[in-house]
Copies of this chain bind each other. A is one copy, B any other.
Amino acid sequence: MMRLAPPGFAKFNQAHSLNVVYGGTEANVAVSLAYFGCEAVHVTRFPDHALGRAAAATLRFHGVDTSRITYGPGRLGLYFLETGAVSRASQIIYDRYDSAFSLIQPGDFDWDAILTGADWFHWSGITPALSQQAADCLLDAIQTANRLSVKVSGDIYFRSNLWKYGRTPQEILPALTAGCDLVLGNQANFEELYGVEADTFDDACHRMQEKFPRIQYFTDTERESVSASHNRLTAKIFDGTTMYSSEVYDITHIIDRIGGGDAYLAGLIYGLLATDDPQYAVEFGAAASALKHTVEGDANLVTVPEVEALVQGDKSGRLRR
């Protein structure tokens, strides 16, 4: 998606130019992983015009492998972002219906070729919300990943008002969730989507695991929104036995909070790939997400040493020469 945002804190009707950034939840995860040194492949379809090509070029700039991207008819999904401050909330106007991506068809992507040799496949709840074909395509990918023993993570946060093609998330998501090794979601999601009722997140995770035995990890972030300019952030991961919590980050001067969740997931995935240690992974993810709030744009552009320094406790932001 192309993000179009008035400069600084201008309101939408004060903007005479809009800053352009390309993002999107899965693309953000891919970019961040590329900065962490992983070989990240983004699989999507962009419109076959100069702006669709620019979106891919931007991913390539950030080190993502774009060789699996296809081009076809349809729009470039857009969103407009107005950045708030203190008690004035940021606002997003989405304009992403009929995107080229929503027109993908099962068969457009050779998942066996794409996933062979991969370590991880990540998807979000946006994709199956767009169209039946997109949902089918995603299911195909997940099943292929399962077959090839590629780990699968799903970000099941969903926006109910996105689902307009006649199916509900309750109908579509369970089959996709069943193929996951790691799920990002909260108790409310679990109840609303899968009818899993529980008193606590731990408890909800247990019940989810009963329902979806493949899932090894459940994870979530907690954001205390002191104001639009100041958030506190922490994360947790449950491995079926233990709930691991991260440091709490006090982000006192937010630069750009879009993509904070994607940055967390990228950090978490990196951490699990690198160490298989959930405590390390959740700390790495939370620190990565905290850093993302200081980076302009949707995607996190920080490297492993920067995240590790923060994980080690250096919050001083002291000048590096």
Contacts and interface: CB of A to CB of B under 8 A. Distances in A.
A7 B294 CA distance: 14
A216 interface: no
A95 to B, nearest CB: 6
Interface stretch (A119-127, A184-192, A311-319): A311-319
Interface string A228-252: 1110000000000000000001011
Contacts of A253: 85-86, 227, 229-230, 253
A63 B229 CA distance: 29
Nearest to A318: B225
Interface string A81-97: 01011111111111101
A19 B60 CA distance: 22
Interface stretch (A46-54, A132-140, A263-271): A46-54
A47 to B, nearest CB: 9
A90 to B, nearest CB: 5
Nearest to A315: B87
A32 to B, nearest CB: 13
Contact of A60 (B60, B254, B317): B60
A86 B251 contact: yes
A169 to B, nearest CB: 16
Given A7-B17, A94-B321, A294 B88 contact: yes
A95 B82 contact: no
Contacts of A229: 252-253, 317
A15 interface: yes
Interface in A66-120: 75-76, 78, 80, 82, 84-95, 97-98
Interface stretch (A175-183, A194-202, A203-211, A296-304): A296-304
Contacts of A90: 317, 319-320
A9 B191 CA distance: 40
Contacts of A88: 291, 294-295, 302, 306, 317
A296 to B, nearest CB: 6
A62 interface: yes
B54 A12 contact: yes
Interface of A: 4, 7-20, 49-51, 53-54, 57-58, 60-63, 75-76, 78, 80, 82, 84-95, 97-98, 159, 225-230, 249, 251-255, 257-258, 290-291, 293-297, 301-302, 306, 310, 314-321
13 contacts: A9-B255, A9-B294, A13-B51, A16-B16, A17-B17, A17-B18, A50-B82, A75-B97, A86-B252, A87-B249, A87-B291, A88-B291, A98-B98
Closest 7 CB pairs of A and B: A228-B317, A13-B54, A225-B316, A61-B61, A12-B50, A88-B294, A229-B253
